[in-house]
Structure 1
């Protein structure tokens, strides 16, 4: 019993009722113009159908879809029942669009919605008046004769037991309001919901957001991870060496690496704050010497060779190549320490090749799958139409990437 009465305790039931009644006022206005007192049954049929072409024509205005969408969100899905906020109360709805009509299909769906709201609201309004009037008649609060009260249901006699019938019209009205509100909500989801074009645009926007978040996460991982790895290795080496000159050099390297990391962090934060920043401000392979020198200051022996027109690389390729080289060197320092590293960067035959090799660490044999950093290298390569591999090769740990320049 409580479950059956639960819809009557929700505000959404009454806001939907009001929304439909307001939509049915158009028919009432047509009835007023025609003349209600002298209207016969056939006239009422004409009055009911007369506003349909008018509301259908109103749907041709693109802004009408936005107006109806906003009303539907506020009145049919208020509060916790809103498509964006509810958690399954009303089923999985696609939501209500508040964009203007962008096609004739949208205009047609809006026209159908306006007609549905008009007829459903008018029918609910007539039923509400009849049932409320019948309830008042059962209570004996009206002195009008049965012939002039306008009630379609037969009016009971003046017997005292008529009050016992009072729950019947009230229950009927409650059920009718709940059912009509549910039908209106279902119709709104189907007719005012996003069109396939809007869904595709929203999906593309969501995909772009996810790709941007993923890129920012990789930027932070590569830049900050590299700086922290260098700082940790330098600090540990300085403590183990117990040499004042070495400690000074280590602190200087930590300071420089930290300063670079702060610049990268500030740049990423500007992106998160949606400040416009040109992509060319991101580091490129032209600054690869900075990475190599950073690895050398930690104690690693870096055998590096750069060949080809690295400075003329396309911006996206050069920027992503810098991050891939940075992550490869960070991976060496993090897992193998200051060991000899062989770095080869070559540009030839419309292809950028990055190859980083180092001795395998003794304590554990890598699996070849790597963590998020190595996975990020492979993801960057795939996004640029290239390929990358990471793992043991010929007794060494190898990171190899090939990026097409076109």
Structure 2
């Protein structure tokens, strides 16, 4: 019983009823002008459906009254956009005809079924029935009173059923076309990719800064040398400032408040990465082969982040060890090779999001990455195509 009455506790049931009633306004108004104009209502609506803006108007009404969604929400069910193709116009025309038919039927029953109940009650009392009722009853019978609630129950079923029917038709006829569904899917995919990229940016930048800070703080405490402590604090300050700039830039992108605070770093800015690692105790040997300035911006930016993550792993898992960095630009590709000894007590960085992020960055650019032990060393080898 509760489930049967549940729809009548929802506002959308009544807004759907209103939506159907509105559909009967046009023929009702035209009927007062001339009966012929009333019969021309379907033709007038068909011509209106060919106007591109009509789809947006109907979508706005349907989304607000039939589904209860905000009109400015996404268009996965009902779109609020003008017709872009003749197929969209055709579906709009069919929708207007279906809404007119169902709406007129519901409006008629909304008026006639309560009148029928009134006639049944009047018949049970022996009062002459209203001539405008759908069913004219004769005679006085007590059982008319028993049947009196049935038209109202039927009206309730009509309201709920017609509301569900017209909502299904709206999703079918005013929903996104295949091209619009594809565009929406591509947009959602782009948003997901952007979120993943931002997550990797934050992981690489903040993770590197925290690793440098931890290593420098530990080394300064162990050294007990005021001069070394000053240098360590300067390195922590510089790395932290860089991380804050990256964080502010990423948050600016998330807020969409304007252009980024600063451009994303590229391999041309690798010196500060190397200096940060050297100040943390790593002994770096870097060699660059080929014209680094010819590397396209996206490739160079991702290469910087890969190098940053690789050096962060060295400091985190191996500590102050010699590190060989080779950057090679040749034969249409960018090669990055980071190699360092892996002490016996060190835990190989075979898990976590850092190495996965390196592989994902390489794969997104059509390249590949190999990470793992190699002849007693730990090696990160990445090849990225330049085109």
Q: Which runs of 4+ in 1 moved over 6 A?
A: 82-85, 141-144
> Could you tell me how far apart the structure 1 residues matched to 2:127 and 2:88 are?
49
C-alpha displacement of 1:58: 0.4
Give the secondary-structure state (helix, strand or coil) at the position aligned to 1:391.
strand
Give the secondary-structure state (helix, strand or coil) at the position aligned to 1:281.
coil
* 1:348 paired to 2:330: yes
Listed as ranges, the gaps of 5+ residues in structure 1 are: 36-45, 86-92
C-alpha displacement of 1:393: 1.3
Cross-structure match for 2:134: 152
* 1:381 paired to 2:362: yes
> Could you tell me how far apart the structure 1 residues matched to 2:386 and 2:8 are?
66
Contact 1:83 1:94 in 2 (8 A): no
Cross-structure match for 1:391: 372
Give the secondary-structure state (helix, strand or coil) at the position aligned to 1:352.
strand
Among 26, 37, 41, the alignment partner of 1:51 is 41
Cross-structure match for 1:60: 50
Contact 2:106 2:162 in 1 (8 A): yes
> Could you tell me how far apart the structure 1 residues matched to 2:69 and 2:262 are?
45
Give the secondary-structure state (helix, strand or coil) at the position aligned to 2:135.
coil
Number of residues of Structure 1 aligned to a counterpart in Structure 2 = 386
Q: 1:144 to 1:190 in 2, by over 3 A?
A: farther
* 1:274 paired to 2:256: yes
Deviations 1:240-287 (A, max 9, x none): 111112111111111111111122122212212214437982111111
Among 319, 322, 339, the alignment partner of 2:321 is 339
Cross-structure match for 1:89: none
Among 118, 142, 150, the alignment partner of 2:100 is 118
> Could you tell me how far apart the structure 2 residues matched to 1:117 and 1:132 are?
23
Contact 1:94 1:189 in 2 (8 A): no
Contact 1:24 1:120 in 2 (8 A): no
What is the Cα-based RMSD across aligned positions, in Å?
2.6
Contact 2:119 2:133 in 1 (8 A): no
Give the secondary-structure state (helix, strand or coil) at the position aligned to 2:199.
helix
Cross-structure match for 1:74: 64
Cross-structure match for 1:229: 211
> Could you tell me how far apart the structure 2 residues matched to 1:257 and 1:394 are?
32
Deviates more, 1:115-124 or 1:386-395: 386-395
> Could you tell me how far apart the structure 2 residues matched to 1:59 and 1:167 are?
40
TM-score (norm 2): 0.93
C-alpha displacement of 1:288: 1.2
* 1:108 paired to 2:90: yes
Contact 1:134 1:155 in 2 (8 A): no
C-alpha displacement of 1:307: 1.7
Cross-structure match for 2:222: 240
Contact 1:77 1:83 in 2 (8 A): no
Cross-structure match for 2:110: 128
C-alpha displacement of 1:195: 1.1
Cross-structure match for 1:33: 33
Listed as ranges, the gaps of 5+ residues in structure 2 are: none
Q: 1:372 to 1:4 in 2, by over 3 A?
A: same
Cross-structure match for 1:263: 245
C-alpha displacement of 1:387: 1.1
Contact 1:280 1:315 in 2 (8 A): no
Cross-structure match for 1:202: 184
Give the secondary-structure state (helix, strand or coil) at the position aligned to 2:270.
helix
> Could you tell me how far apart the structure 1 residues matched to 2:10 and 2:263 are?
55
Q: 1:197 to 1:118 in 2, by over 3 A?
A: same
Deviations 1:309-357 (A, max 9, x none): 1123211111111111111100110111111111111112222111001
> Could you tell me how far apart the structure 1 residues matched to 2:168 and 2:196 are?
37
Cross-structure match for 1:170: 152
